[in-house]
Amino acid sequence: MANVPSAEKRNRQRIKRRARNQFHLTTMRTYVKRVRVAIEAKDGKIAELLKAAVRVIDKAASKGVIDKKAASRKISRLTKTVTAHSASA
């Protein structure tokens, strides 16, 4: 355990930052999952869900929770999946 005041402060900051990052990460995963479930169910709201998921992924990237290239890749793959399933439906 930290004994120096500066180390104690760094520990407090680490805990807060981790909680914030976890929030953005789990929110992002939830939105992506909603899109995938809608695709499987052939739901009519896939476009709206995709738009919301893209917004959340971009926000996570802007906060530094995930890398901007990882965010771009996730958005690309999700959009590609939605497009493929909407074309086949």
**Tens digit of each residue's pLDDT (9 = 90 or more) over 38-49:** 999 988 899 999
Q: List the structure tokens of 33.
A: 């999952």
CATH label of the domain that carries residue 52: 1.20.58.110
The parent domain of residue 54 ranges over 5-88
Average pLDDT over residues 25-44: 94
pLDDT of res. 2 = 81
| pLDDT band at 89; cut points 50, 70, 90 | low
Lowest-pLDDT range of 5-9, 48-52, 61-65, 85-89 = 85-89
How many domains would you assign to the chain? Answer: 1
